[in-house]
Structure 1
Amino acid sequence: MIGLLSDFRVRLGACVLAMAAIGGLGVVTHAKAPVTRPEGAEEPARTVVNRTALACPVPGVGGKVQSTVNAVSPTLPAGTPTATGDASPLSISPLAANANPLGSVLVRGKIASTTRTAKLEPLSIRGTGPLAAGTAATSTSTATDGVNRGMASVPCQVPGSDFWFVGASGAPGRRDVLVLTNLDSINAEVNVTIYSTDGVQDVPSARGVVVPARGTTEIYLGQAAPKLTDLALHIVSSGGRVSPAIRDNATSGQIPTGVDWLNASAQPSGKVVVPALAPGGGIRLLTVVNPGDLQATATLTVQGPNGPFKPAGLESLQIPAGSVKVVRLDKVLHGDPSAITIASDQPVTASTRMTDSSVTEFSTMGATERLTGPAYLVLPPHEQPVALQVTAPGQTAGVRFELRDATDKVIQTRSLDVVAGATNLITFKPQTRPTYLMVEQLRGEIVAGASLMPPAKPKADAVPMVAAWPLTTSLVFRAQLGAQPDVRAALK
């Protein structure tokens, strides 16, 4: 044995075997983390949505306001799978668990509507089964007088835990209220961070806000951030899920100058796009928030009907850390339908505020994500044409849209190319009944939104109706990560 060990080749082989044994033990005792997606898959697997929950807010009391909710389980593109089982109705109901439904979505493709009512209570849309995938709804109120004079219309919100709203205010002349809705059967708790042109605001009352189960909580920004004119809010749930909305009533002295809901904005990023700046006269204000710890340098690009351009004098913005910046764009847009791309060296997000030519009504549009699947939007009845705007912020892209009536009949459809950096405008005729719109990206990057503006020369006693609706990829599928066994469990 001693002779064998004295042989150099034997000793070398023994060392190699010992090292291999130690390495093998290391493989077992320090096992790699399990693979959480199927081998060869670049994207998470998708599973069909079989459950839906949406929160539909209502305005505050004031004036002769009437409110309604229009909802649809839309016709999906051919070949799209849906959940198995019976097509159980989706209920449109008040938040209480034992509340009687005020309406029901019974079949795919047909719009369900609640009766227009002066009783202002938030509603929920719930259900499971084949009708859940893609469900979309819009909450709309109108009033002919008082603080709610005009039109307030907003897509009903899917509950979540992280939201951004840009363009709020706590200043005199604005009555902005953050409405937090909890559709679940347990309490939720949220923290709200408020950014202004003066930086991040210390607002103890906005931290640890409890939203009761199947209930709502309101935060008045005039109290939380008094006299601050330009605000951005980051709403994060620390427990449970919420559906936030910001109600905005504007006045000039004692005269109402519009009401609407602020549409949510996309998460901060190095590049964000605000679509569907409505054509026509009026004010166009862009608000950008930089929530980071470093100053942001951002460049603006306008994507109009003739392609992209840098707005003179506004090509570059300096946005201090943790702060908000506001710029006025109507003079450089010249009344054209447009989108705004903000490219920044720090993550930012943004929104626009748009008024009619008489500055007596307004709407907002937040930055949106590019479409990665069909987007569905329920349009309430409207006496003026609705403008659909689709933008290709990068290369030339393809898009298809369908407008269907309340019985699922196709009213208008078309496939078109959108030139790189340009915005295309498609108009839909006035409708006396609700309709629903589908926009589907075929290739390239597409962002989209729709808007409603009153005529350039309305009748003297006409109540202006102004609205803006974002188009975002509808919840037809959820990401479902593949899984492999975790061998580490056997070593514990």
Structure 2
Amino acid sequence: MKRTTVSLIAAVAALGAVGGVASVTAPERDKAAPSPVAAAKRMPVQRSTVTCPAPAASDFAKTAYTAFSPGTGAGQGGKAQLLPARDGKPDPKAKPVAPLTAPGKPVSASTGDAKAPALVGTADGVLAPGYTVQQTTEISAGDGHGLLGTSCTAPGAEYWFPGASTAKSRQDYIHLTNPDDTPAVVDLELYGAKGEINTPSGNDVSVPAHGSVPVRLSTLASGNEENLTLHVLARSGRVGAGLQAVDSSLGGDWVPASASGSDGVVLPGLPKDTTKARLVVFAPGSEDADLNVKVATPTGSISPAGHETLHVKNGMTTAVDLDRITQGEAGSLVLTPSDPKHAVPVVASVRVVRGKAAAQEMAFASATPRAVERATVSGNTEKGSTLFLTAPDKAAKVRVTSSAPAGGGKPVSRTVEVKQGATLAIEPPKPSGKGVFSVSVEPVSGGPVHACRMLTASTGGLPMFTLQTMPDDHATVAVPTSKEDLSILNQE
């Protein structure tokens, strides 16, 4: 028996309330030839969230925050701001850090407070797509001296950090920041050269709502292990995770989370004056990984002598030293499966050291996904900024845009070509005006492009630097196109 008229009206009303945009009266159409469903459209995101870990707790530290939005969202209006991650509810009286009210120009703030908290940034409206925050700390003396930089990350449920350590010379902390109204529960797992390490205190780590928890890795397991892979897994809720590595002789920096890839991974960001490089690789699945190791130089790909291939046992961290691998030329590491028919997912990170003798500094680059539409990084300066662009498979054209500086001025763009299998290291184009600026990388044509940015500074002869990988900024999301079909309400 067919539905009654009353039921039909109620159902139509319910559909209208849920859909919000569907028409109650269906347009006339040929029932024998229904129109095809349109493909999903990519639309600008309407809200973005990032988390910035608490900076180094040092009396010799000064931290700068630079927030930026390209302003590609729909409509007008919106705001973006950073607020302290205090346990419990957000403090409505807290003063926002680096608030944005308009797109296209970065806003900066700084602090010398050794107890500066973690921050949670939110952006909506026109400011949401591509909202980016850079946190850069300069420590002039003591352990962890140097330049520590991180691009504040979007919260998630899982992170991999190859390159962690519990060696005597290291003090590594994982910072977990919860941007939401409910607590999160996180498991912390460590994997060494012989497999998973027993870490009972890493289970069920509670991260309060709008709070941040630092955990020293050496408290999770006994013993000292030079090369580890840290797995952060949120069993409930979501967190932003940042790994801070501090070495007694090599300074400190933040280790970017690694992307995972079965068809290969790319680690852009080897400076031309690299003196030491340690590659750390981990296969999180149930199979071993056999990899080809290539260095993408300015002129093309080469195989490092003695390290042409790498065998990675599943569940075990593999590390290999690649000292002086760049030979005076900037480069990137490209890892691909030895047998493409037997590809195994891997994560990877590389510790890069510049300088000599007592004047050395370290930074980290990790496997980073390609920039699909656009990748953005903030906190660039007129001197001391370098972009690394790598096209592992096919030559590519890339548009590099420097925003208007914080002090006022005009943006500037430049299109560059990256050779197949090569790395192009360039200074970003300098915009008119003074102050820090942001840089966006947009593929124009050709193959996939992977990007990384280096910031440098020098104090007392110490070659301070930091590396930030540049994944796609996910400014848009796929929104399926839907059409009303009231015929379903008339089915028996």
TM-score when scaled to structure 2? Answer: 0.83
Structure 1 range deviating more: 276-285 or 298-307: 276-285
Q: Determine the C-alpha separation between the residues in 1 that align with 2:434 and 2:251.
A: 23
Verify: 1:465 aligned to 2:467, yes or no: no
Q: Which of 109, 116, 141 in structure 2 is aligned with 1:114?
A: 109
Secondary structure, aligned partner of 2:129:
coil
1:144-183 matches, within 5 Å, as 144-183=140-179
Partner secondary structure for residue 60 of structure 1: coil
Q: Is it true that 1:392 corresponds to 2:391 in the alignment?
A: yes
Q: Which runs of 5+ in 2 are unaligned?
A: 1-34, 338-342
Letter in 2 for 1:174: R
Distance 2:411 2:152 in 1: 24
Q: How far did residue 355 of structure 1 move? A: 1.3
Q: 2:74 aligns with which of 73, 80, 83?
A: 83
1:30-429 alignment, distance < 5 Å = 44-76=40-72, 82-84=73-75, 86-96=76-86, 97-98=90-91, 99-118=94-113, 119-225=115-221, 226-252=223-249, 257-344=250-337, 345-358=343-356, 360-381=360-381, 384-404=383-403, 405-406=405-406, 409-410=409-410, 412-428=412-428
Question: Is the Cα contact below 8 Å between 1:182 and 1:242 reproduced in 2?
Answer: yes
Deviation at 1:295, TM superposition (A): 2.0
Q: Take 1:348 and 1:489, find their aligned partners in 2: how far apart are those partners?
A: 49
Q: How far does residue 301 in structure 1 lie from its aligned partner after superposition? A: 1.2
User: What's 1:437 paired with?
Assistant: 439
SS of the equivalent of 1:130 reads helix
- Paired residue for 1:451, among 445, 448, 454? 454
CA distance in 2, matches of 1:408, 1:371: 28
Any idea what SS the aligned residue of 1:110 has? Answer: coil
Counterpart Cα distance in 1 of 2:428 and 2:443: 19
Query: How big is the shift at 1:466?
Result: 0.9
1:307 Cα deviation after fit: 0.3
Q: 1:61 to 1:70 in 2, by over 3 A?
A: same
Contact 1:63 1:145 in 2 (8 A): no
Taking the aligned partners of 2:211 and 2:319, their CA distance within structure 1 comes to 34
Q: How many angstroms apart in 2 are the aligned matches of 1:75 and 1:198? A: 48
- With normalisation by structure 1, the TM-score equals 0.83
Name 1:18's counterpart in structure 2.
none
Tell me the distance in 1 between the aligned counterparts of 2:151 and 2:187: 23
CA drift of 1:224 comes to: 1.4
Shift of 1:69: 1.0
What's the offset of the Cα at 1:179?
Answer: 0.5
Provide the secondary structure at the position in 2 that maps to 1:398.
strand
SS in 2 for 1:333: coil
- Kindly state the Cα deviation for residue 55 of structure 1 after the two structures are TM-superposed: 0.9
| Distance in structure 1 (CA, Å) of the matches to 2:243 and 2:180 | 20
Unpaired segments ≥5 residues, structure 1: 1-37, 77-81
* Structure 1 Cα separation of the partners of residues 65 and 487 of structure 2: 51
Which stretch shifts more, 425-434 or 469-478? 425-434
Shift of 1:192: 2.4
Alpha-carbon distance in structure 1 between the residues aligned to 2:242 and 2:489: 44
For residue 479 of structure 1, report the CA deviation from its aligned partner.
2.9
Q: 1:237: Cα distance to partner?
A: 1.4
CA contact (8 A) 1:65 1:148 kept: no
* Distance verdict in 2 for CA 1:39–1:354, change over 3 Å: farther
Name the CA shift for 1:128/1:73 in 2 (closer, same or farther; >3 Å): same
Distance 1:109 1:328, change over 3 A: same
Change in Cα spacing, 1:240 to 1:184, as seen in structure 2 (3 Å) is same
Q: 1:333 to 1:483 in 2, by over 3 A?
A: same
| Cα distance in 2 between the residues matched to 1:244 and 1:223 | 17
Distance in 2 between residues matched to 1:144 and 1:202, nearest whole Å: 37
Q: CA deviation at 1:432?
A: 7.1
Q: Distance in 1 between matches of 2:268 and 2:315?
A: 24
Aligned partners of 1:269 and 1:349 also within 8 Å:
no
Stretch moving more, 236-245 or 352-361: 352-361
Residue 184 (structure 1) shift: 0.7
Structure 2 residue identity aligned to 1:246: L
Q: Which amino acid aligns with 1:117?
A: G
- Per-residue deviation, residues 374-424 of structure 1 (Å, max 9, x unmatched): 111002547x52211111100111111012222564465311221110111
Q: Distance in 2 between matches of 1:242 and 1:468?
A: 22
Q: Which amino acid aligns with 2:385?
A: V
